[in-house]
Structure 1
Amino acid sequence: MAETFGQPKPTLILHFTHIDNLPGILKADRLFSDSSVGPQLATNVGAVEIKARRRERRVPCPPGGFVADYVPFYFAPRSPMMYRIMCDHRDGKPGRYPGGEDPLVYLVSSVERVHAAGLRWVASDGNCAVGLTTFSTELDELSALVDWPLLRAEVWKDIPDDMDRVRRRAAEFLVHREFPLDLLLGYVVRTTERQEQVRRVFRDAGMIEPYGRVRPGWYYGNPRGEVRR
C-alpha cells in the first residue's frame, strides 16, 4: 500500500466483529447492517446507547436512511470504539460486552473494491453518531473529508488546541444494507492462536480461507490477561 501524507492508495477499510459471529457471516456470505443483521450477530460488542443513536441519526445524502442501515467500516485500526472495548474489559464495566479485543477479527476490504463493485456507500469525516459529523458520496472528496494524518497517529485524544480529535479519528465508510464477502481482501487477528481458530471456522464452513495476518499492533492489548479460547 502506498503511504502518503494524505489518503493512502488503495484505501483500506476495516470492519471488526467477534469471532463468534463468523459462522453466521460465512453462512450468509455477507455482512448485514445493524438494522437487518438479525440472528447473524451471535455476540454483540457494541454499546447499547451508541447503537440507539445510530438508529436515529439520519444520513443526509443518497441513499439516505439511518446510520444503522449501513455496514460500518473504519479507515484505520485502533479506533476509539476498540479503545472503549479494551477499557470496558480492563475495568470490568457492568452492562457492557466483557470479552475485550482478543476475540475480535478485522475483515479488510478497500474503498476502491466497493466503489468498483457498484455498491452504494457513504463516507463520514468522523463518528456517525455525532451531530457535527458530515457525509459524502464522492470518491474524489475523501482526500479532504477525512483527517488522514490523524488516522495514522498513535495518540488521537482531544487536546486543548483541538477538542475534536476523537470524533474525527472515528471517521467511517458505510456500505448500504449489506457487504458481500467476495469483496474482502483478507482478515487480521491479534494472535497466532486466534488465526488458527479463524482457519477452523472457514474449514468448518467449507470455504477457502482468505488472506490472513496476525497484527497485534492493530489492537491496544489485553490488560487483564484474559484470553477466551
Structure 2
Amino acid sequence: MDMRRPSRQALIMHFTHVDNLPAILETGRIIADSAVGGRLVTEVGSVDIKASRRSRLVTCPPGGFVADYVPFYFAPRSPMMYRIARDHQAGKIGLYPDGDDPLVYLVSSVDRVHQAGLPWVVSDGNCASVLTRFSGSLDDLVSMVDWPLMREISWNNIPEDQDRMRRRMAELLVPREFPLELLAGYSVRTRARETQLRRLLRSAGIINPYVAVRPDWYYGYTRGEVRE
C-alpha cells in the first residue's frame, strides 16, 4: 500500500484572529511572522513563543528561522489553542484576552501545497523543542508526523508517553508567504462567526467560499467556567 496518499491528502490548518482577515484578504496571502509587521491587527500568540521562533533555526533547506515560515498544524484543537482558551478562561492580565471563539481556521492540504510546487518543511513536533526534527522530504512527512495522534481528541502526555504534546504540535512550514488560492476553505466556531466571515469574504470579492461551522475544532471556554 502506498503510504504517501493519506499523508499528502491530509488537511493542514492555520488559524488567525478574525480581525486580521481584512489585511490577509487584501494581500491575497498569509505572510510569515518575521515579515508581517503592522499588518497584524490582533496578536494571539505568546510573546515568548514568538521570540523563540525568531531564533529557532530550521535545520534543512531552505533554512532560516521558524518565524520566516507560515505555519500550519495537521490537526485542530492544538495545544496552542488550548493555552489561548485557558488564558481567556482564567482572565490573565497582559495576555490576549478573547479566547478561541474569534479565531478562524484557514484550511488547505498537503496535496495542494505539493502540487503548487511550493517549498515546505515538516517538523515532527513543537518547533521550540530541541528534540524536534525538520525535513523537506515527502517520504519523511509520512514517517515523522504521528498521524494516529492527529486523529485523537486528547493529546495530553500520559505516564507511558511523555512526548504526546510535543508531537501533536507538528507543523507544515511554508517559507515567506502562502497564497490564498491554495486554501480549500475556512472553519469557524459558531453561526455568528460564519456570518461575520462570509461578510468579510464577500467584501473581498470571494463569492461562495467553503465555510464550515466546526465547534468540535475549538475549546470554547468562557470566563469562570470549569470544563474538562
SS of 2:13's equivalent in the other structure is: strand
Is the 8 Å Cα contact of residues 7 and 110 (structure 2) preserved in structure 1?
no
| Mean CA deviation greater in 140-149 or 193-202 | 140-149
Residues 186 and 212 of structure 2 are in contact (CA less than 8 Å); yes or no, is this contact kept in structure 1? yes
Q: 1: CA distance between counterparts of 2:199 and 2:52? A: 36
| RMSD across aligned positions (CA) | 1.7
Contact 2:121 2:173 (C-alpha < 8 Å) held by counterparts: yes
Shift of 1:222: 2.9
Query: Does the CA contact (< 8 Å) of 2:86 and 2:221 recur in 1?
Result: no
Moved over 6 A (4+): none
Paired residues for 1:5-24 under 5 Å = 7-8=6-7, 10-24=9-23
| 1:191 aligned residue | 190
5 Å-filtered alignment, 1:97-112, equals 97-112=96-111
For 1:176, the equivalent position in structure 2 comes to 175
**Deviations 1:35-86 (CA, angstroms, capped at 9, x unpaired):** 0012221100000000000000000000000000000000000000000000
- When the two structures are aligned, how many residues end up with a matched partner? 222
Structure 1 distance, partners of 2:221, 2:158, is: 26
- Within 2, Cα distance between the matches of 1:225 and 1:208? 39
Q: Kindly state the Cα deviation for residue 116 of structure 1 after the two structures are TM-superposed.
A: 1.0
The residue aligned with 1:167 is 166
1-structure distance, mates of 2:14, 2:163 = 23
- Give the equivalent residue in structure 2 for 1:88: 87
- The one-letter code matched in structure 1 to 2:67 is A
* Structure 1 alignment gaps of length 5 or more: none
Equivalent AA in structure 1 for residue 24 of structure 2: I
- Alignment deviations for residues 99-149 of structure 1 (CA, whole Å, 9 cap, x no partner): 101000000001111111111110010011111100110112212101111
Q: Which moved more, 1:205-214 or 1:52-61?
A: 205-214
The residue that corresponds to 2:72 in the other structure is 73
Alignment check: 8 A CA contact 1:7 1:142 kept: no
Mapped partners of 2:196, 2:151: distance in 1 = 29
1:220 aligns with 219
Write out per-residue CA displacement over residues 137-167 of structure 1, whole angstroms, 9 at most, x where no aligned residue.
Answer: 0112212101111111111111121111110
1:141 matched to which residue of 2? 140
Separation in 2, partners of 1:32, 1:225: 35
Following TM superposition, by how much is the alpha carbon of 1:208 offset from its aligned partner in structure 2, in angstroms?
A: 2.3
Quote the offset at 1:224 in angstroms.
2.5
- Are 1:118 and 2:117 counterparts? yes
Cα shift at 1:182: 0.4
Letter in 2 for 1:139: L
Structure 2 residue aligned with 1:55: 54
Q: Distance in 1 between matches of 2:150 and 2:94?
A: 29
Counting aligned pairs with the same residue, the percent is 65
Opposite residue 181 of structure 2, the aligned amino acid is: D
Distance 1:202 1:153 in 2: 31
Output the amino acid matched with 1:66: F
Give structure 2 stretches of 5+ with no counterpart: none
